[in-house]
Amino acid sequence: MEVTEVRVFPVQEERLKAYVAITFDHCFVVRDLKVINGNNGLFVAMPSKKRKDGTYRDTAHPLNSETRQRIESVILAEYNKEIQKIR
């Protein structure tokens, strides 16, 4: 499975830096990923939904760390390109 498109939508908030939509193999899209400025730098948060008890649960997520790292590296590279266009 290959990432075939990444769309970055920058925002001007303290920790939230962008919303992202990512497409796999030109046929499956996942929206509402977030680029977050955390304590140790930027990271990608998977889309999640707030539950009745106030906790959040991911609605889509990778099943292993290798896939998570591949997705995160592609998203952060595209985010950095988008930010350079704005500056």
Question: What pLDDT, on a 0 to 100 scale, did the predictor assign at position 1?
Answer: 86
Asked whether 60 and 20 are in contact (CB, 8 A), the reply is: no
Question: What pLDDT, on a 0 to 100 scale, did the predictor assign at position 86?
Answer: 78
- Tens of pLDDT along 32-76? 999 999 999 999 999 999 999 999 999 999 999 999 999 999 999
Question: What pLDDT, on a 0 to 100 scale, did the predictor assign at position 65?
Answer: 95
What are the residues whose beta carbons fall under 8 Å from the beta carbon of 21, sequence distance 6 or more? 5, 6, 7, 9, 29, 30, 31, 32, 33
- CA 58, distance to chain mean position in Å, is 12
Total of domains in the chain: 1
**Burial level of 19, CB count in 10 A (0-12/13-18/19+)?**
middle
The pLDDT-based confidence of 17 (bands split at 50, 70, 90) is very high
- CA 56, distance to chain mean position in Å, is 16
CATH number at residue 37: 3.30.1120.40
Domain span including residue 26: 3-86
